[in-house]
Amino acid sequence: MALNTNLTTGRPTFVTHLECSMTGERYEADMLHGLSRVGRPLLVRYDLEGVGAALSKEALTSRETDLWRWRELLPVRHTSDVVSLGEIETPLVPIPKSGGSPNVLVKDEGRLPTGSFKARGLVMAVSMAKALGVTKIAMPTNGNAGAALAAYASRVGIETIIFCPDDTPEINVREVAAQGGRVYRVNGLIDDCGAIVGKGAAEGRWFDFSTLKEPYRIEGKKTMGLELAAQFGWKLPDAIFYPTGGGTGLIGMWKAFDELEALGWIGPERPRMFAVQASGCAPIVRAFEAGEEHAERWEDAATVAAGIRVPRAVGDFLILRAVRASGGRAVAVGDPAILKAVEDCARRDGLLLCPEGGATLAAYREALRTGLVDEDERVVLFNCATGLKYPLPEAPQTLDRFAEIDLGAL
């Protein structure tokens, strides 16, 4: 089956304008934008009354269950600008043994193109970059975002320059290069890489695709929230545990819930949002606990979960607002608990989590222990990438087929 057969060629979306997430200042749609004038992310706004008149839940249900079924709530105006690699609706996988309850479900984003949820944001951002005439993009990455950008940009002929910390997982670096990105290891963290990207963008060398510094990654990531609503029969789960570095997905889901309520498809109830970080890099947790709206940079960040090793997030206040408004928490877990969760889920439930996904399971276990969640509640944990992208424990056992084999000892 051809990709995107459920898109309507040439039909405009319902985008009305863009809006500064801090001040509410309006920006014209269909123009290339970075951050707002006050240096904050821009949010895409829609004619939701028009969407409601054009689309019903029943009509949506009859469509193929891919990312593009939500086209009326997405910014790409024309089918010809869509740069797709087959973005499916990801499954909800129960983990009753390692999760301790049949009500704990993992939304397994590792099934997406390039093996991670970064595909959601980057397919939307690259499609809009194509529509708006961008020819060269640069971006900092901890691995998976760079891989997704390289794949989609190469597909449409956009040049990419990607900077990553020098300890980024080797498979991610090679994946970026194999898919056409010019990738450079940098002796620093992701925000150090971002500073290089920002300098080049200021000199007009490329367009800055850093997290939340263009408006459309949020729109791709919000489809996680749209999918959850449909998968749960338009009644949202009680709690969501989300691995939080830049926090685009958490921000996007919160936006999706508001849009669905405006359409009348869900009520005002919201999941408690748990922003999960590693104890070796927890700026959002520190700001949450201090009652602050912005998070100071986390110095000497270090964790096995590289994807959430983000010392400073440009959308920090949006993450914190969503967490607080939902009655949720920002929580940190240590690397030993993360690795134990990954091992337990693989051995007991057969699902290989990435370290960031392991962080959500570790955080859920701690929240259950401390009474922040109840085992009877419906809980979704996000596994943001396939565990096959990460180093696995050695398996050194061998057999000599010519020697006598003690089969009972195997």
pLDDT, tens digit, for every residue of 212-223? 999 999 999 999
- What is the enclosing helix (H) or strand (E) of 108? strand 104-108
Write the DSSP string, 37-66: TTS--EEEEE-HHHHHHH--HHHHHTS-SB
0.85 exceeded by pTM: yes
| Pair 21, 318: CB distance under 8 Å | yes
In sequence order, the 6+-apart residues with CB closer than 8 A to the CB of 127 are 76, 81, 82, 83, 152, 216
Cα(233)–Cα(245) distance, rounded to whole angstroms? 29
* Cβ neighbours of residue 64 closer than 8 Å, sequence gap 6 or more: 5, 6
pLDDT, position 13: 78
364 is written with which tokens? 């859920």
Residues of the chain with pLDDT under 70: 1-12
In Å, how far are 6, 54, 228, 365 from 11, measured between CA atoms?
12, 12, 26, 46
Is residue 193 within 8 Å of residue 226, measured between CB atoms?
Answer: no
What is the CA angle 231-345-306, rounded to 5?
Answer: 90
Q: Where are the alpha helices (DSSP H) in 132-270?
A: 144-156, 170-178, 190-202, 217-221, 223-231, 248-263
Q: Residue type at 382?
A: F
* Whole-number Å distance between alpha carbons of 41 and 215: 7
Nearest to 120 by CA among 34, 5, 216: 216
